[in-house]
Chain A
Amino acid sequence: MGLLSDPVRRRALVRLVLRLNAPLCVLSYAAGIAWFLALAFPPLTQRTYMSENAMGSTMVEEQFAGGDRARAWARDFGAHRRKLGALPAAWLERTMRSVGLEVYTQSFSRKLPFPDETHERYMVSGTNVYGILRAPRAASTESLVLTVPCGPDSTNSQAVGLLLALAAHFRGQIYWAKDIIFLVTEHDLLGTEAWLEAYHDVNVTGMQSSPLQGRAGAIQAAVALELSSDVVTSLDVAVEGLNGQLPNLDLLNLFQTFCQKGGLLCTLQGKLQPQDWTSDGPLQGLQTLLLMVLQQASGRPHGPHGLFLRYRVEALTLRGINSFRQYKYDLVAVGKALEGMFRKLNHLLERLHQSFFFYLLPALSRFVSIGLYMPAAGFLLLVLGLKISSAPQSTCDQPPSGPSPLGLGQGWRTYDTRVRGDMQTHFFG
């Protein structure tokens, strides 16, 4: 007979567990913590690889060369924004139309739940402007989104300039099989949420927004861009979204391949990538991993991409950081990386689903899948299980009213006979 079906052995096992309860709890807790810390180290980490066959191994030569136009538009945008004090929707509309996109605007407003000093309730209202580049030879069934969130000041104007330059470049190509939506939102995440809600025709946050006049099809992937200046020394990628949701790992793999191809310096959680694991790599990996866990635990969307994830749209946020480093990349390099990513995403036939949805990242090129980090959580939950198992000790004098959760201890025997009785009636009744 098996270990758990043989009553004698079962009782022996139960007695062992009860006797060693405290040490087992401590051991299990320690094992969980140790396993979690070991996640950053080589045997438990794997190299990332592209799982989606459609975004395969071949690379295209990028043709983007609109750096000057991007800077000019960024300057214009910054100037208009400073003059207006809000998003210059009319200017954006005009410029997008001149580039050749179908432009629509959306106005939204939201009453913030927390009052501030001056007003009872604070009403936020704004406008989103988006332009749709229609696929020249395909039906508009799917789309990709490039979004630039604009906050209360004009810090993201370089990103707007790059977005317009990319739109102008993309408009001249004939190989798009999906529509591309170029979205500029006001008030950062509020605008993005308003747009997404209107696009998917839902209302989860109680935002009042005007309905969208133009639509493009199911969104397959989205990239959000935040650039602080027109030269960047590194590109930081953020993946954690609302409630700790993560995009498909293939999107990150895609970004990482273009980082490597373009020789860009890419960081995760603001940390540089270790080129080899022999130096202080492992400890840095552990730090990155813990930062990612903390960010996921906070539940905040760390960028507009976090809001896209709720609608099962894979999204990333790229932040260009300008620090005191010698080698700087200009807008053309960032534009080429984005062009490459969009061309590869263009090859997709289905939503990204081949790679992992739950993972932890000790580095950009290393990941830990859920199958490997679940045991750590399992060990921690085992502590609870062990504690529950020792609970009925106190009630072992009275017969239990119903079957106790695990039925160990004195109540176990009555459960045992009751079960046997039930089984008898079942089998012979």
Chain B
Amino acid sequence: MAATSYCSRAVAPLAGLLLLSFGSLATSQIEEQAEQFFRSGHTNNWAVLVCTSRFWFNYRHVANTLSVYRSVKRLGIPDSHIVLMLADDMACNPRNPKPATVFSHKNMELNVYGDDVEVDYRSYEVTVENFLRVLTGRIPPSTPRSKRLLSDDRSNILIYMTGHGGNGFLKFQDSEEITNIELADAFEQMWQKRRYNELLFIIDTCQGASMYERFYSPNIMALASSQVGEDSLSHQPDPAIGVHLMDRYTFYVLEFLEEINPASQTNMNDLFQVCPKSLCVSTPGHRTDLFQRDPKNVLITDFFGSVRKVEITTETISLQTDLGILESRDKEDWMDEELIEPLKYAEQLPVAQIIHQVCFQFILFKETSFLISEK
């Protein structure tokens, strides 16, 4: 009896050890999966796509923006999460020989206007003020939801801007400009209000690199189509429509994005290689020093698509403290919470007190009236 119990007691820890070893193997696989699961840290995706120039001969800027819109929508970001700002209407311009279309490739291969384009800010609503209000969230309460950037601290935002620009500024609508300092300050406001997790900023204008020189908020990655002193060139004119259809940089980015699907594992380093100087004539640039992750670990779909992280597993994952990444995440959350505290909005209207006073008066009144009526 004692021997069997002794044996069983000996077997149990052995079995336990075996199970533990198996379990540890299994858990390491699960840990890997879990690590992948939490790799990016974002839960939703937003896109703000801005075309800042009007007039028929700036057809290519609208086509640029619409082609990025098309890619972003195809990879999963819904219209409710895209703020599309087009400064002019090319599809219904009286000069368009093919009405209701905006082509990106000549010989009308690809119509980026399509059937379900939802333009949020159109024509004269595309101003510097509206753009900054969208980014920072300081919007009048009457603004409809489709015109708001309702991002939170777990949102990855893609911001794409195109138009005519210069050294340190981008021209809006032929009448005003936004400078790189204003843009950097807007992004800092977004950071302080925790309106983004990570931000990808792409700009396709002349001297585009000057626009990202002044960024100073964390978690921003920036790409531009040309360096300071260089002009971004347009791609190809269409002999039937009579305008240049696309800019070179965005044309090659569009071709690159057409090969991406929601499951692809292509990372940002490939996006940096798009459009070398031989194709683009200008030198595209990028900036990653403010970004915390390594670009080779950042998937294209982290910004351009809305990939829901769903992992189905039958094993249990123990979210213990020995999972290094979870620990650091916890620490970050704790630090964020600490930071968030002082940023709470002050009570504008002490509603509780007012209600209390009113109620108290009401109760008094009621009592007196009761007393009176009783008598």
Residues of A within 8 A of B (CB): 53-54, 56-61, 135-138, 173-177, 343, 346-347, 349
Is A173 touching B97 in the complex (CB atoms < 8 A)? yes
Is A53 touching B94 in the complex (CB atoms < 8 A)? no
Is B56 touching A54 in the complex (CB atoms < 8 A)? yes
Task: Please provide the chain B residues from 217 to 267 with a CB less than 8 Å away from any CB of chain A in the complex.
Answer: 237-244
| Contact sample, A vs B, 15 pairs, CB 8 Å cutoff | A53-B57, A54-B55, A58-B244, A59-B242, A60-B240, A137-B92, A137-B99, A138-B94, A173-B97, A175-B95, A175-B96, A175-B97, A177-B93, A347-B242, A349-B56
Cα A346 to Cα B242 with chains together (Å) = 11
User: Given A135-B94, A137-B94, A346-B95: A60 and B239 within 8 A (CB)?
Assistant: yes
Cα A175 to Cα B99 with chains together (Å) = 9
Cα A346 to Cα B97 with chains together (Å) = 12
- A185: min CB distance to chain B, Å: 29
Cα A397 to Cα B99 with chains together (Å) = 84
Task: Please provide the chain B residues from 11 to 62 with a CB less than 8 Å away from any CB of chain A in the complex.
Answer: 55-57
Task: Count A/B pairs, Cβ under 8 Å.
Answer: 46
A346 to B, closest residue via Cβ = B95
- B75: min CB distance to chain A, Å: 32
Is A347 touching B57 in the complex (CB atoms < 8 A)? yes
B96 to A, closest residue via Cβ = A175
Chain B residues touching A, majority SS:
loop
Is B99 touching A58 in the complex (CB atoms < 8 A)? no
- Among candidates A60, A135, A347, residue contacting B56 with C-beta atoms closer than 8 Å: A347
B241 to A, closest residue via Cβ = A60
- A336: min CB distance to chain B, Å: 13
A176 to B, closest residue via Cβ = B94
- Among candidates B94, B241, B243, residue contacting A177 with C-beta atoms closer than 8 Å: B94
Cα A343 to Cα B243 with chains together (Å) = 12
Cα A338 to Cα B307 with chains together (Å) = 54
User: Given A60-B242, A347-B56, A347-B57: A177 and B95 within 8 A (CB)?
Assistant: yes
- A244: min CB distance to chain B, Å: 33
Cα A53 to Cα B99 with chains together (Å) = 23
Cα A177 to Cα B55 with chains together (Å) = 12
Bitwise, B71-103 to A at CB < 8 A (1) or not (0) is 000000000000000000000111111010000
- A103: min CB distance to chain B, Å: 23
Cα A173 to Cα B244 with chains together (Å) = 20
- B52: min CB distance to chain A, Å: 16
- A4: min CB distance to chain B, Å: 42
- B316: min CB distance to chain A, Å: 64
B241: A residues at CB distance < 8 A: 60
- Among candidates A58, A136, A173, A174, residue contacting B243 with C-beta atoms closer than 8 Å: A58
B95: A residues at CB distance < 8 A: 175, 177, 346-347
A349: B residues at CB distance < 8 A: 55-56
A56: B residues at CB distance < 8 A: 57, 243
Cα A54 to Cα B99 with chains together (Å) = 20
B92: A residues at CB distance < 8 A: 137
List 5 other contacts, CB 8 Å, given A56-B57, A60-B241, A60-B242: A60-B239, A174-B99, A175-B96, A346-B95, A347-B56
Cα A346 to Cα B239 with chains together (Å) = 15
Cα A177 to Cα B57 with chains together (Å) = 14
A62 to B, closest residue via Cβ = B239
Cα A382 to Cα B243 with chains together (Å) = 50
Task: Please provide the chain B residues from 307 to 361 with a CB less than 8 Å away from any CB of chain A in the complex.
Answer: none
Task: Please provide the chain B residues from 263 to 289 with a CB less than 8 Å away from any CB of chain A in the complex.
Answer: none
- A176: min CB distance to chain B, Å: 7
Is A61 touching B239 in the complex (CB atoms < 8 A)? yes
B56: A residues at CB distance < 8 A: 54, 347, 349
B240: A residues at CB distance < 8 A: 60-61
Cα A175 to Cα B241 with chains together (Å) = 9
Cα A349 to Cα B92 with chains together (Å) = 16
- A352: min CB distance to chain B, Å: 15
* CB-CB nearest 8 A-B residue pairs: A138-B94, A58-B237, A177-B94, A60-B242, A137-B94, A175-B97, A61-B239, A177-B95
A178 to B, closest residue via Cβ = B94
User: Given A59-B242, A347-B242: A54 and B94 within 8 A (CB)?
Assistant: no
Cα A404 to Cα B239 with chains together (Å) = 67
Is B94 touching A136 in the complex (CB atoms < 8 A)? yes
A137: B residues at CB distance < 8 A: 92, 94, 99
B242 to A, closest residue via Cβ = A60
B54 to A, closest residue via Cβ = A349
Cα A254 to Cα B149 with chains together (Å) = 46
B239: A residues at CB distance < 8 A: 59-61
